[in-house]
């Protein structure tokens, strides 16, 4: 019951926060792109949360809890939150003042890719029971090199980068896209720091990096 309560509180608070960050700058609730985004974000999130609650409650707890202790990762989390807030506010202002216009075809494509990122996210959680919001090597942790982990070393970050970049396009804002485009660079810092820790503390990870060469984008990086 404590886990359910914690999950519901964070879900509701997240919904309220996103709504405020979008509708207040937009000056209206008649922001269709915002409603589409909210549906695409929170409906799959709710379904995934319910599945984890029954299938993998320990994993759900790890995804809900935890604060970064490592200084570099604290900075990454702070900058990611700043991008998140600024991107939403700029997108809302863009809608309010009509600064830019994203073609409908692009919005639809972005929506499909956004859902695809959720599919990748879910598959990664199915594959890796050691996932946590914080960077730390857990007791008994082993290197996962199957499924998507056999293609890129950080499929979860691949999913989040895709998700973040599609958000402003769904909201119909090119200016918002400029803000959110800083996110991959922040994730690159997180990945390099994380791999330094994993190489030093997780047996077999150094060999894994030689086997799977690419971090989040096959044949690129």
Higher-confidence residue of 31 and 136: namely 31
Q: What are residue 171's phi and psi, to 5 degrees?
A: -75, -10
Report the C-alpha gap between 71 and 134 in whole angstroms.
12
Report the C-alpha gap between 64 and 67 in whole angstroms.
10
Residue-wise pLDDT for 98-119, tens only, equals 999 999 999 999 999 999 998 8
In a domain, 220, yes or no: no
Residue-wise pLDDT for 127-173, tens only, equals 776 665 555 565 567 888 888 888 999 998 999 999 999 999 999 99
In a domain, 218, yes or no: no
Mean pLDDT value across residues 65-85: 78
Distances (CA, A) of 181 to 11, 79, 119, 177, 194: 25, 13, 22, 6, 21
Distances (CA, A) of 119 to 65, 115, 159, 160: 22, 6, 9, 11
Longest CA pairwise span in the chain (Å):
54
**CATH number of the CATH domain containing 77:** 1.20.120.1630
Element containing residue 73 per DSSP (H, E): helix 71-97
The two tokens of residue 23 are 């509708």
Q: How many percent of the chain have pLDDT more than 90?
A: 46
In a domain, 116, yes or no: yes
Residue 104 neighbours by CB distance under 10 Å: 9
Report the C-alpha gap between 57 and 51 in whole angstroms.
9
In degrees to the nearest 10, what's the CA dihedral of 85, 89, 90, 91?
Answer: 100
In a domain, 59, yes or no: yes
Report the C-alpha gap between 64 and 56 in whole angstroms.
13
Q: What is the pLDDT of residue 139?
A: 59
Range 85-90, long-range pairs (CB < 8 A, 24+ positions):
85/21, 86/179, 87/164, 87/167, 87/168, 87/176, 87/179, 87/180, 88/18, 88/21, 88/22, 88/25, 88/171, 88/176, 89/21, 89/25, 90/25, 90/173, 90/175, 90/176, 90/179
User: Domain count of the chain?
Assistant: 1
Report the C-alpha gap between 165 and 183 in whole angstroms.
8
Q: What is the pLDDT of residue 122?
A: 82
In a domain, 217, yes or no: no
In a domain, 219, yes or no: no
pTM of the model: 0.84
Task: Supply the range of the domain harboring residue 134.
Answer: 2-211
The two tokens of residue 110 are 């972005």
Report the C-alpha gap between 96 and 49 in whole angstroms.
33
């Amino acid at each position: 019951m404590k886990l359910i309560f914690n999950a519901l509180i964070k879900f509701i608070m997240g919904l309220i926060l996103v709504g405020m960050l979008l509708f207040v700058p937009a000056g209206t609730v008649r922001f269709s792109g915002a409603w589409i985004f909210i549906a695409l974000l929170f409906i799959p999130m709710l379904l995934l949360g319910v599945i984890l609650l029954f299938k993998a409650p320990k994993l759900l707890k790890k995804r809900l809890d935890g604060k970064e202790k490592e200084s570099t990762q604290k900075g990454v989390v702070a900058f990611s939150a700043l991008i998140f807030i600024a991107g939403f506010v700029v997108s809302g202002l863009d809608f309010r003042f009509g600064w830019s216009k994203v073609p409908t075809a692009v919005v639809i494509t972005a929506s499909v890719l956004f859902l695809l990122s959720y599919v990748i996210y879910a598959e990664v959680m199915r594959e890796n029971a050691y996932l946590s919001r914080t960077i730390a090597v857990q007791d008994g942790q082993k290197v996962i090199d199957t499924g998507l982990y056999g293609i890129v070393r950080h499929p979860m970050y691949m999913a989040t980068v895709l998700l973040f970049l599609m958000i402003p396009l769904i909201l119909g804002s090119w200016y918002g896209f400029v803000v959110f485009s800083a996110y991959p660079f922040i994730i690159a810092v997180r990945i390099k720091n994380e791999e330094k820790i994993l190489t030093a503390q997780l047996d077999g990870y150094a060999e894994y990096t030689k086997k799977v060469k690419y971090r989040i984008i096959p044949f690129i990086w």
